[in-house]
Structure 1
Amino acid sequence: MSTSKGTEYGDLGTRFVHAGNEPDPRTGAVTTPISLATTFAQVAPGETTGYEYSRTGNPTRNALQLSLAAAEGAAHCVAFASGCAALVAILHSTCRTGDKIVCIDDVYGGTQRYLRTCVEPIYGMKLEFVDFKDMSLVQKAVEGAKLVWLETPTNPNLEVTDIAAVAKVTNEAGALLVVDNTFLSPYLQNPLELGADIVAHSCTKSIAGHSDVVMGAVCLNNEDVHKQLLFFQNTLGSVPSPFDCYMCQRGLKTLHIRMQRSNENASVVAGFLEAHAQVVRVSWPGLASHPQFEIASRQQRGGGMVITFWVKPGDDGDKRAACRRFLAATKLFVCAESLGAVESLAESPSIMTHGSVPKEKRERLGIDDAMVRLSVGIESAQDLIADLDQALAQI
């Protein structure tokens, strides 16, 4: 019930607006109705109209799944109650006790926490974190692996990995490649076109886009894995509510407009920060100074809305204190976790999003107390720069 390549809609923007959003055949409503029903009448015992129980299937959720599948150019999409729930379902659908999982080392703290504290010690799977900047390490690690988990750009260092190159290696090794595409969204990157097997999203971020929905989604072409995902969506019960599905689908309709503005703003903000005396270093894939700029230019359609930078400590040399002073001084940038919304956000990864990552691992990855991660929204770029400028002056 969630099959759609979306190619008949042409341009991405048109696809985001129309795929899965056909007028309601009964009333002509141009927006997808919110079906709150928990159960559906059967024509006769076991003879359904396509729906029987809302955990198993829901018309509003199905419409969203069609829209998201089309957005990624996928045959299928399965929606979940959160990005973390999508991660759990992918692992349940593809791996078993004793299987080997390879994950990029610079990864979202929630992903690392689940893999490190549940997948390995509880489910008995073998786990290996690898620096994907070194393809020789990747090639060695994927031997005998069942699943490879990749973020690009990574969270929070914004390192970029060549998806096509990794897909070639994983395909030769017989491993499934999952790419978390949350940071760029379907508007700026489409991993399936680059050889990935599965694409994961935290729809909480750019796709919904308004800081009012928590949801995850998995897009793919593999029929067998799709069936397994539907089984675990139903069995685990980690389904999003019909209202959240409606809100997420509404957000998707303006994804291209919001991402275009956020990406333009991020370009201006990144250039400003790179030239600022109080900033040590800036990581944004759209900057020519980014170590993987060439790869990003090939596989992305923009640098994205997330910028990571490191502040210079004050006279006391205390990085954490400097970061805290900066975050306390911003007026437009809200000190909060998450990203991809219309409003601009700022956070300290070492304390907030990656606080659960062991300190020694954070230090090895460069996630120190001077690091700040920005999610650039759709406000005036000049107002955002003025806010950053006055906040940096407080360090």
Structure 2
Amino acid sequence: MSNATRIIHSIPTDPLTGAIAVPIYQTSTFVQEAPGVNKGYDYARTGNPTRAALESIVADLEGGSTGTAFASGLAAIDAVLKLLSEGDEIVAVDDIYGGAYRLFTHIYGKFGISVRYVDTTRPEEVFDAITPKTKLVWIESPTNPTLKVSDIAAIARITKAAGVLLCVDNTFATPVLQQPLALGADIVVHSATKYLGGHSDLIAGVVVTKDPGLGARIRFIQNASGAILGPFDAWLVIRGIETLSCRVRLHCTNALRVAQFLETHPAVAEVFYPGLPSHPNYEVAARQATGFGGIVSFSLKQDSEATAVSFVTGTKLFQLAESLGGVKSLLCHPATMTHKSIPEGQRRAAGIRPSLVRLSVGLEDAGDLIADLDAALARVAAARTTAVANSLADAS
């Protein structure tokens, strides 16, 4: 059975009524026949049938045993970190999402959990960074925003030998393109806000585990901490998953065309997209995934924040916003938006230059998107030419 067919038919019909759409159980509590005797649900923080349907669907898509749905992607990340204790260490990808960095450093750092940031595209750096205190290796693949791709299977062999958990943020790739658990990871997280939901109309997160015992621990954390996903938003994610396969494939097709255009543009210094043969991790990406995703980042030759801001505020179809993965194309300036919380030196070391722009390539016609980028690049170049001419005139 093809992946597209499996995704569509992973969404169950309602056994009670035969409804082809999963019902929304908009309730806070459930009537019990006697204390502890119920129909599987007692209180909606602990469990809700709509949320349970989503959790089962995503666990199946990722090939895991247990799915757990949270109120946001960061709430999902937070639940994974709550598996740790004071004195534990995390080895994390250096090009990490700014929100994750903020949570790791400013929240869990206060509780005695330390983080070592390494280039996880080099498995030997992961190996060298692990100490007896390391309990978790955290990678994004591809990363946000420079699209680095790590060899998940190679890192999994290292973590297994060391007795360390491996968690992969699979938000960018989605289970349509990449299966981290099959490659040896222990935990997968998603910001379901992005491609799983797919329409920029919800906030959600999901954790999927391979081991049922580990899944039970995440479920306990979910119930104890209470950062649950509401039934309506769970239903929206399910609705998004119905079209996930076809959406992701078109995202990939459009993103490749955009990346190829940018790679040849004279105003562009560097393009970050794992589907380009020039990408340093192209072979790894082609081996462990079935597509390269819908995110393209690039840096301008004029490496200044002002130039980048001028560009991101000058497009028409690409709209300036901090999210990604929706049907409409978005763009952002990571240094002042999504990754602003990361210190400048660490940002630059990870490749986040002042002129770096991140594109979330949507489902519009690729030719229209390219024309929009081309026009914005031309406006930036014209403004630069005018500024230079004015400067020379003033000097004379």
TM superposition score category, shorter chain reference: over 0.9
Between the aligned partners of 1:133 and 1:257, the Cα distance in structure 2 is 29
Q: Which residue of structure 1 aligns with residue 76 of structure 2?
A: 86
How far 1:73 sits from its partner (Å)? Answer: 1.3
Matches within 5 A, 1:169-208: 169-208=158-197
Between the aligned partners of 1:86 and 1:301, the Cα distance in structure 2 is 25
Match of 1:345 among 304, 316, 330: 330
**1:13 counterpart = 2:1:** no
Identity of aligned residues (%): 47
How far 1:26 sits from its partner (Å)? Answer: 2.3
How far 1:71 sits from its partner (Å)? Answer: 1.0
Q: What is the RMSD of the two structures over their aligned residues, measured on CA atoms?
A: 1.0
Between the aligned partners of 1:126 and 1:368, the Cα distance in structure 2 is 26
> Which shows bigger deviation, 216-225 or 372-381?
216-225
How far 1:193 sits from its partner (Å)? Answer: 0.8
**1:364 counterpart = 2:354:** no
Superposed CA offset, 1:231-260 (max 9, x none): 111111000110000000000010001001
Match of 1:111 among 85, 91, 100: 100
SS of the aligned residue for 1:281 comes to strand
**1:57 counterpart = 2:47:** yes
Deviating above 2 A after TM superposition, structure 1's stretches of 4 or more consecutive aligned residues are 133-136
How far 1:381 sits from its partner (Å)? Answer: 0.4
Structure 2: state its 5+ residue gaps. Answer: 381-396
Contact 1:15 1:70 in 2 (8 A): no
Between the aligned partners of 1:255 and 1:173, the Cα distance in structure 2 is 36
Contact 1:312 1:322 in 2 (8 A): no
Matches within 5 A, 1:64-79: 64-79=54-69
Between the aligned partners of 2:15 and 2:316, the Cα distance in structure 1 is 47
How far 1:117 sits from its partner (Å)? Answer: 0.7
Structure 1: state its 5+ residue gaps. Answer: 1-9
Q: Which residue of structure 2 aligns with residue 154 of structure 1?
A: 143
Q: Which residue of structure 1 aligns with residue 385 of structure 2?
A: none
Between the aligned partners of 2:307 and 2:14, the Cα distance in structure 1 is 54
Match of 1:137 among 125, 128, 137: 125
Contact 1:279 1:312 in 2 (8 A): yes
How far 1:133 sits from its partner (Å)? Answer: 2.8
Q: Which residue of structure 1 aligns with residue 391 of structure 2?
A: none
Between the aligned partners of 1:56 and 1:254, the Cα distance in structure 2 is 29
TM-score (norm. length: structure 2): 0.94
Q: Which structure has the greater CA radius of gyration?
A: 2
Between the aligned partners of 1:212 and 1:32, the Cα distance in structure 2 is 18
The count of residues paired between Structure 1 and Structure 2 equals 379
Superposed CA offset, 1:114-165 (max 9, x none): 1011112x21112211121332221111232111101111111111110000
Matches within 5 A, 1:1-395: 10-19=1-10, 21-92=11-82, 94-120=83-109, 122-144=110-132, 145-313=134-302, 319-395=304-380
Between the aligned partners of 2:101 and 2:357, the Cα distance in structure 1 is 20
SS of the aligned residue for 1:29 comes to coil
